[in-house]
Amino acid sequence: MVYILNIETATKNCSVSLSKNGEIIAVKELSEEQFNHAEKLHSFIKEVLNEVQISLNDLSAIAVSKGPGSYTGLRIGVSAAKGLCYALDIPLIAIDTLAVLAEQLAIDSGCIVPMIDARRMEVFTQVFDNKLQPVSNAEALIVEEHSFSDLTETIHLIGDGALKCTTVLTAEKFVYHQDIIYPSAKQMGRLSYKKYTENAFEDMAYFEPYYLKDFMLTTKK
């Protein structure tokens, strides 16, 4: 049996799941305006393991959502994953956060554009086809009226970044799925198991979150 612990902390959703041969068998998550990931993450890990009555030593690998997303959230998730992998001597798997978000939507045609809020009118985004394959690179995009003008097919927008685009991206080709807001570890099972079978592991000594943008520290006026 391949048990993989999946950790998703790139947004306001602190999410942990446990998968068995790629199928999710336990989930614990909570979305809050204030980031409480440091307080919640390790208790969530204990809860999903207790739910299926296995221990940390039964894990085959740990998968973590690597970004883009919140600097604080990503650091918390990646630090926890690397620490556990090192202590348990098991491999680390990194999953693209935008791919995790895209997994929540199934479509027959058109494309999926997950968006993670990056403040003001900027979003972290990427285009996926209806088979959930990426057709563009992840980018930090300032959304304006002519964004995605090169795409003529139906564009399905998801994520908390999409919520603020409803008054800007108004063409008929844009379809908003406002019930899909945050990436979740519930969608990481298939992705992490695939990487496990391919031995697509990270070097724990050098792996860092994918911030996409340089960190900028600001102070309140």
pLDDT digits (tens, 9 = 90+) for 65-97: 999 999 999 999 999 999 999 999 999 999 999
Q: What's the predicted TM-score (pTM) here?
A: 0.93
User: Which are the contacts of 97, defined by CB distance < 8 A and separation ≥ 6?
Assistant: 8, 10, 11, 65, 66, 67, 68, 69, 116, 124, 183, 210
Q: Burial of 38 by CB count in 10 Å (0-12 exposed, 13-18 middle, 19+ buried)?
A: middle
Q: What is the mean pLDDT of residues 59-68?
A: 98
Model confidence at 218, pLDDT cuts 50, 70, 90, reads very low
Task: Give the chain's domains with CATH numbers.
Answer: 3-97+183-197 (3.30.420.40), 105-176 (3.30.420)
